[in-house]
Structures are given as structure tokens and as C-alpha cells.
Amino acid sequence: MPRKLRELIQTLAGAGFYEISGGKGSHRKFVHQNYAGAVTLSGKIGDDAKTYQEKQVAQAVEQVKS
């Protein structure tokens, strides 16, 4: 069962990412001082996360922990 977007956002926040303005519509952008670029999540907060979104979040969190 896929995770919800709110869970991915909590994972990012727990790793030190924070939301910045600039997302259009249902898009949210998260940045971290030790991560080049931004992680963009699209969809409503209660939607199921897509597989690529889960992978992107996992890779981003792993990169900032290294």
C-alpha cells in the first residue's frame, strides 16, 4: 500500500527539509542546505504517493544524512 503525501512530508521535515514558496497549484517544493536542488511533491496532502515520489524522498533523505 502506498504511503500518503503527508507521510512523505513528515519524513522530509524530520530530515531537516523545509517548504519554500514557488510551487504552483498542488505542488510543494522542499529544500535543505545540504541538498542541491529541491524535492517537489505534487498532489493533495491525503493522496497516495506515487512510486517515483517515494523514491525521490528516500534518495534525498539518504543524501543529506551521508
DSSP state of 49: P
Q: What pLDDT score does 45 carry? A: 93
**pLDDT of 36-61, one tens digit each?**
999 999 999 999 999 999 999 999 99
Tell me the C-alpha to C-alpha distance, in Å, between residue 52 and each of 21, 33, 41, 42, 44: 22, 23, 10, 11, 16
